[in-house]
Structure 1
Amino acid sequence: MDLTVQHLRYFLAVAESLHFTRAAERLRIAPPSLSQQIAALERRLGVALFHRTSRRVELTAAGAELLPLARHAVASVDDVLAWADRRRAAGTRLRLGLVVGNRITAAILAAAAERLPDVRWEVRRVGFAEPVELLRAGRVDAVLAPAARPPEVPGVRAVPLWREGRVLVVSATHPLAGRPGVGIEETNAERFVAADTGPELADWFVVPRAGGVRPRVDPEVTTFEEVLEVCAAGLGVNIAGSTAAVSHARADLAYVPVTDVPEIAVYLLRPPATRGVAAALERIAVRVARREAGRCGGRPLAQRSSPTERSGGGPTTTTSSSARAAGGGAGGTTSSDVSS
């Protein structure tokens, strides 16, 4: 077996998490496949890299010695990829859509601007129901968008960047404002305000609920900033991603965790081409999200569900009506290339 950078990426993922399942999720491969790749690497090197028991995974002495060498080798390859990205991107344009923005998206943009200094950036706010239509029409090259379910849209590569819980956005004077958490059915009588009328609201607001309950939804605004203003005025509530509590902290708002609904994920949506500036942005976005998500109210990629493999673009998830909105009516959420 030839030793590849991919094998070193596999090793680093396990060494840094000391958990095969979480490492596999981070790498977007099945855990048995990761175990096989690590075993192949150990055979190639002639040493055991991990002690494995039913309860824990630990580095062997050889594994600990390999760790800094592997990090250096992978970083060197990433530097080569970054150089190639800059060469390909020189003088090109990247049109990026943002459904909503937060500190993680800001960090992604800052890193991309540094890594791709010769790219002409066009960044625009995108409506909740627009991402897929804009991509298919060729009006944007990539979109950062949240979704309550994994996007599976033919011709669109959807790369999960981070996950986050959902929070109920209420006025600071709302009766629920001081609660440590709230169940979704406790919001049945609330008036929800949203920035979209599409069916994707069902995913975000969990409709219908037990007994067929459908809470009142009055979608009378167009942006997440307007959602916040209406909530602050006490005219309605909203369900947003938990990063909103960090990126949009305000004295007149409270963000109450919704404790009994699934997390959402934020995706980079782009055409499936394996090269080009959008592919370079993907590599940057995955690295930055892993570093920043935990600091900003989200959870890094390593803790998400592993997506399915699609042809033509490497491991991705590709989704339903939730992708068309890619953020439903909520907001606040708004690689390193593992195949290298």
Structure 2
Amino acid sequence: MDLTVQQLRYFVAVARELHFARAAQALRISAPSLSQQIAALERKVGGPLFRRDARRVELTELGTELLPKAGRSIAALDDVVSWAEERRAGGAVVRVGLVVGSRIASVILSEAARAFPGIRWKITRLGFDGSLTALRTSRVDVVLAPAMSAPSGPDLHAVPLWSEGRVLVVGAGHPLAGRDSVTVDEVADEHFVATLGDEALTDWLGLPRSDGFTPKVAYVAATFEEVLDICSAGLGVNIAGAGAVSGSPRPGVVFVPVRGLPDATVHLLRPARTPSAAVLAVEELAVRVARRETARDADG
């Protein structure tokens, strides 16, 4: 049986997302290609791994049985690959995924590079729906991502690093671009650029709100770069973490502070299994630097 670890990675991605299109986007392959790979794997294991209809995707009993075995197989191969990369590079390799850039994230990476000269770094920009899949399929070792609550799961370890306010992302010609700040009420009639699935978007915007605010979603973006492209063209607005002001400057885009929304927290995410010494050292440094920089920002 010619079963490949790549097929297992594809299977795990779909099993975690329970959505073929989102899994394909996170894996950076086309949805038809992903479906073909899953079908090939199903032929090799002798039965369907997913039940699919127009509304949802579910694991079959066979898929449920395969999932932990696939996870262990992927982790075992990743250990071998990491060992080989470390030997080739003469030191450890740490792969970092970034969802949205920020000043503090840049300081963490800069200080980590100085503190650990023996580590070889791989920095990857991730889509909004792709961070957990990237971790679970071992594309990255750690992720820095903003969220309203810590992502959870038995296979996931989350460490809060810092909190930040919210900003409205608008084109420079937008009527609200010149404001010192805005409230949620003032953007209720705007066309929003959504970046997350329905459940996560609800969490990000603190819905349902007592004032009845519901965003009118006009566009869906896979990455923050796409958000900036759409907003700079004046086609919609977005609410982001305030770290985007320093981490993602863009001509033609203005960031306006939003009042009345709770702060977002940037978390360091990694798999729950015992990390390498290099990943653990980076995590500890990230916590120290985030605390120091947050204190400096508070002092003005």
- In structure 2, what is the equivalent of residue 71 of structure 1? none
- 8 Å contact from structure 1 (residues 207, 215) kept in 2: no
- In structure 1, what is the equivalent of residue 287 of structure 2? 286
- In structure 2, what is the equivalent of residue 222 of structure 1? 222
What secondary structure is seen at the aligned counterpart in 2 of 1:258?
strand
Following the alignment from structure 2 to structure 1, what is the Cα–Cα distance between the partners of residues 198 and 121? 30
- 8 Å contact from structure 1 (residues 164, 299) kept in 2: no
- In structure 2, what is the equivalent of residue 164 of structure 1? 164
What secondary structure is seen at the aligned counterpart in 1 of 2:220?
coil
Q: What RMSD over aligned residues (CA atoms) do the two structures have, in Å?
A: 2.4
Matched, 1:173 2:173: yes
- 8 Å contact from structure 1 (residues 185, 209) kept in 2: no
Residue correspondence of structure 1 range 9-88 to structure 2 within 5 A: none
Following the alignment from structure 1 to structure 2, what is the Cα–Cα distance between the partners of residues 114 and 260? 39
Give the C-alpha shift of residue 268 in structure 1: 0.6
Paired residue type of 1:283? E
Following the alignment from structure 2 to structure 1, what is the Cα–Cα distance between the partners of residues 189 and 202? 16
Give the C-alpha shift of residue 240 in structure 1: 0.6
- In structure 2, what is the equivalent of residue 182 of structure 1? 182
- In structure 2, what is the equivalent of residue 336 of structure 1? none
Give the C-alpha shift of residue 239 in structure 1: 0.3
Following the alignment from structure 1 to structure 2, what is the Cα–Cα distance between the partners of residues 211 and 107? 38
* Unpaired stretches in structure 2, ≥5 consecutive residues: 1-88
Q: For each residue in 1:64-100, what CA deviation from the matched residue of structure 2 results, as whole angstroms up to 9, or x when unmatched?
A: xxxxxxxxxxxxxxxxxxxxxxxxx962221211112
Paired residue type of 2:163? R
Matched, 1:99 2:112: no
- 8 Å contact from structure 1 (residues 191, 217) kept in 2: yes
Q: For each residue in 1:117-159, what CA deviation from the matched residue of structure 2 results, as whole angstroms up to 9, or x when unmatched?
A: 1122222111211222222233321111111112222221111
Flag the 1:293–1:251 CA change in 2: closer, same or farther, 3 A.
Answer: farther
Following the alignment from structure 2 to structure 1, what is the Cα–Cα distance between the partners of residues 123 and 251? 29
Q: For each residue in 1:260-286, what CA deviation from the matched residue of structure 2 results, as whole angstroms up to 9, or x when unmatched?
A: 110001011112326621111111111
Following the alignment from structure 2 to structure 1, what is the Cα–Cα distance between the partners of residues 197 and 155? 25
Matched, 1:208 2:208: yes
- 8 Å contact from structure 1 (residues 96, 124) kept in 2: yes
What secondary structure is seen at the aligned counterpart in 2 of 1:117?
coil
Flag the 1:218–1:205 CA change in 2: closer, same or farther, 3 A.
Answer: farther
Q: For each residue in 1:24-46, what CA deviation from the matched residue of structure 2 results, as whole angstroms up to 9, or x when unmatched?
A: xxxxxxxxxxxxxxxxxxxxxxx
The aligned length equals 210
Following the alignment from structure 1 to structure 2, what is the Cα–Cα distance between the partners of residues 287 and 90? 27
- In structure 2, what is the equivalent of residue 196 of structure 1? 196
- 8 Å contact from structure 1 (residues 163, 299) kept in 2: no
Following the alignment from structure 1 to structure 2, what is the Cα–Cα distance between the partners of residues 139 and 182? 38
- In structure 2, what is the equivalent of residue 267 of structure 1? 267
What secondary structure is seen at the aligned counterpart in 2 of 1:199?
helix
Give the C-alpha shift of residue 291 in structure 1: 2.9
Following the alignment from structure 1 to structure 2, what is the Cα–Cα distance between the partners of residues 96 and 268? 10
What secondary structure is seen at the aligned counterpart in 1 of 2:240?
strand
Give the C-alpha shift of residue 169 in structure 1: 0.9
What secondary structure is seen at the aligned counterpart in 1 of 2:138?
coil
* Unpaired stretches in structure 1, ≥5 consecutive residues: 1-88, 301-340
Paired residue type of 2:221? V
Flag the 1:131–1:205 CA change in 2: closer, same or farther, 3 A.
Answer: same
Residue correspondence of structure 1 range 108-187 to structure 2 within 5 A: 108-187=108-187
Give the C-alpha shift of residue 299 in structure 1: 6.1
Following the alignment from structure 1 to structure 2, what is the Cα–Cα distance between the partners of residues 93 and 249? 29
- 8 Å contact from structure 1 (residues 92, 118) kept in 2: yes
- 8 Å contact from structure 2 (residues 100, 247) kept in 1: no
- 8 Å contact from structure 2 (residues 129, 222) kept in 1: no
Q: What percent identity do the matched residue pairs reach?
A: 49
Give the C-alpha shift of residue 101 in structure 1: 1.4
- 8 Å contact from structure 2 (residues 193, 230) kept in 1: yes
Give the C-alpha shift of residue 105 in structure 1: 1.4
Following the alignment from structure 2 to structure 1, what is the Cα–Cα distance between the partners of residues 110 and 181? 34
Following the alignment from structure 1 to structure 2, what is the Cα–Cα distance between the partners of residues 183 and 283? 37
Flag the 1:245–1:152 CA change in 2: closer, same or farther, 3 A.
Answer: same
Give the C-alpha shift of residue 292 in structure 1: 2.9
